[in-house]
Amino acid sequence: MRIVILTQDDPFYLGKNIDFLVKNMPSYAQIVGTVLFEVSPFGKRETFFEKMKKTYDIFGLKFFAYYSYKFIKSKFDSGNSVAKVLRKYDIPLIQIEGGINNKENREILKTYQPDLLVSIGGNQIFKRPLLDLATYGCVNLHTALLPKYRGLMPSFWVLKNNEKYTGVSVFFVDEGIDSGPILVQKKVEIGDRSQEELINHTKQIGMECIIESVELIQKGGFKLIPNPAEEMTYFSFPTRKDVNEFYKAGKRFF
């Protein structure tokens, strides 16, 4: 099975998880290339300074200083960056310009003859011509129990809303947002974890679920879990008011 990964060069969480994923993929699954999107935590393209200002304005000084330090540290110790992991395993970086749905970019991806696209932190909406490039389509990792908590930053919202449980869902991508049928889903007890701890925990479980999904697709005969729109909740990026309520609920970012 030829796999192309669609992800972003996240400096905080994804490098070590992509490393785990590559090392533990079944022998018949070959990762033939990876597209690295621009890092965009806000779900849209913004300049580096716009991202910095928005982070400070919404999350405050303590959060800004903590992640600024981690970001700077990552630049001096890039061992866990996604790009470094790809080089470690000789996985080609697929160079594209502009939106991934562009015809020119689809033609580039087509040359890799993918059987499956795997989206991890993909921050673009994939259109049908792109999804049809791969034999089995595209699966995406979402760290929440779909159909609840579709959208951005589910780790923040489940904590703010005092949920007892969250989870991980790997689903087949359609042209909606987190709306496709679910292939693998795992429930996770939140406990007293901070957001950082919850992200680390669910990302690790997410890699295991992606591997399980690849195995199910290879075997065939799997049963899909519904992801009904009438039961969904959707959350966008938090505001400063949401962050204040997060703190009032006694929750921690790290």
Q: Which two tokens stand for residue 41?
A: 């935590």
Question: Is residue 72, in this structure, part of any structural domain at all?
Answer: no
End-to-end CA distance of the chain: 38
Give the number of domains in the chain.
1
Q: What distance in Å separates the CA atoms of residue 140 and residue 118, rounded to the nearest whole number?
A: 6
Q: From first to last of its 254 residues, what are the pLDDT tens digits of the chain? A: 999 999 998 889 999 999 999 999 999 999 999 999 987 654 456 787 888 999 999 999 999 999 999 988 887 776 678 999 999 999 999 999 989 999 999 999 999 999 999 999 888 899 999 999 999 999 999 999 999 999 999 999 999 999 999 999 999 999 999 999 999 999 999 999 999 999 999 999 999 999 999 999 999 999 999 999 999 999 999 999 999 999 999 999 99
Question: Is residue 62, in this structure, part of any structural domain at all?
Answer: no
**Domain limits for position 201:** 2-47+79-248
Look up the CATH number of the domain holding residue 92: 3.40.50.170
Give the pairing type, strands 150-151 and 234-235.
parallel
DSSP string, 178-244: S-SPEEEEEEEE-TT--HHHHHHHHHHHHHHHHHHHHHHHHH----PBP--GGG--EE----HHHHH
Question: Is residue 15, in this structure, part of any structural domain at all?
Answer: yes
Question: Is residue 57, in this structure, part of any structural domain at all?
Answer: no
Question: Is residue 52, in this structure, part of any structural domain at all?
Answer: no
Let me know: does 99 contact 123? Beta carbons within 8 Å. no
Let me know: does 42 contact 237? Beta carbons within 8 Å. yes
Beta carbons within 10 angstroms of residue 142's beta carbon: 26
SS3 19: helix
Question: Is residue 226, in this structure, part of any structural domain at all?
Answer: yes
Q: What is the pTM of this model?
A: 0.93
Question: Is residue 38, in this structure, part of any structural domain at all?
Answer: yes
Question: Is residue 176, in this structure, part of any structural domain at all?
Answer: yes
